[in-house]
Amino acid sequence: MNMTQLTQAQAGTLESNDIMITVVPNQAEKEVTIELQSLVLAQYGKQIRKVIADTVREQGVTALAVKAIDRGALDCTIRARTLTALSRAGVTLKEVHHGTEKDLTVYTGQ
């Protein structure tokens, strides 16, 4: 994936049981970094980071800064918000299913 074509994007809210994901191209670092704020960081921080990192990796993105502000979101919400932010940033999403990939169209509200 050509990372220079990506732009900053955001998905989610700061409402209860949601998460706000902001993604920014990270050309300088050439890696995926995750900054996480959460009310349940001590209990679930590792799992939240894993869901975000796995979702980004599955989409083939390798240079991205992710800022996540969690308000108790479930894994499915974290994944959905991450995918939406990636799509809004310019990533052509792939559906990952048992090791095969195909293009995935997602409604991004735009």
In whole angstroms, how far apart are CA 70 and each of 1, 21, 77, 94, 99?
A: 28, 8, 10, 25, 29
What local confidence, expressed as pLDDT, does residue 26 receive? Answer: 86
Domain coordinates in residue numbering, the chain: 3-103
Mean pLDDT of 53-64: 95
Burial of 75 (0-12, 13-18, 19+ CB in 10 A): middle
Q: What is the pLDDT of residues 15-33, one digit of tens each?
A: 999 999 999 998 787 899 9
pTM for the full predicted model: 0.84
Three-class SS state of 24: strand
Is the domain spanning 3-103 CATH 3.10.620? The answer is no
